Amino acid sequence: MDSKTFLRLKEKAEKALEDALKEDKVDEDIKDLLSFINACEDLFTTSSCSGRVVIIEVPFPGAKPGARFLGKWHGKVDKEKVLRALRSSREGFLFFMVHPPIIHVVARDPEIAEKMVKAGLSSGFKNSGMRAFKGKILVELRSTERLDVPIGKDGELMVSEDYLELLCEIANLMIEKGKRKIDILRKNMERFYRNACK
């Protein structure tokens, strides 16, 4: 990608992030990391998440069309929150899910992208890599804290409340672990890009 195009895309992405920050649509736990990455002249971030717990209703397992989020939390969750979210369920399979932290970054060139992937891998983001996408070099840093558990169908909870409590306990531990990795990534980014960022 030529420098002019990269700069135009970077400015556009940074404006979108600025708007999202104003509207409080950016996860608190990754604000510093995103700011650091965007201060690097050879990088900019796109959609990213610090990790979340979700309750989702889907027409059939793996379906995206028709899927409905009943609950979404980027911090700790408890049984009461989950039960409240389930009240709005109607029809379909109900899943309790934990999604890991995921950071999307566009790099100016493959060498810089490779550094980003190395920083991610050394920080515990084991499902990390890069690919060319519409002329852009996109780096995806994804951690491994993932959980997908069916818990009911057609508005009916089919697991015990004790089991739901256990799922919440496991989810909270996974979310906490993912957030620690975000801090480690920030420190490793400083080491890998010490001279490239403002």
Tens-digit pLDDT profile for residues 72-107: 999 999 999 999 999 999 999 999 999 999 999 999
pTM of the model: 0.87
Domains and their CATH numbers in the chain: 3-192 (3.30.1960.10)
8: helix, coil or strand?
Answer: helix
Nearest to 130 by CA among 110, 159, 158: 110
Handedness of CA 99, 100, 104, 110 (dihedral sign): negative
According to the 3-state scheme, what is the secondary structure of 97-134? EEECCEEEEEECCHHHHHHHHHHHHCCCCCCCEEEEEC
CA distance 164 to 51: 19
Tens-digit pLDDT profile for residues 132-165: 877 889 999 999 999 999 999 999 999 999 999 9
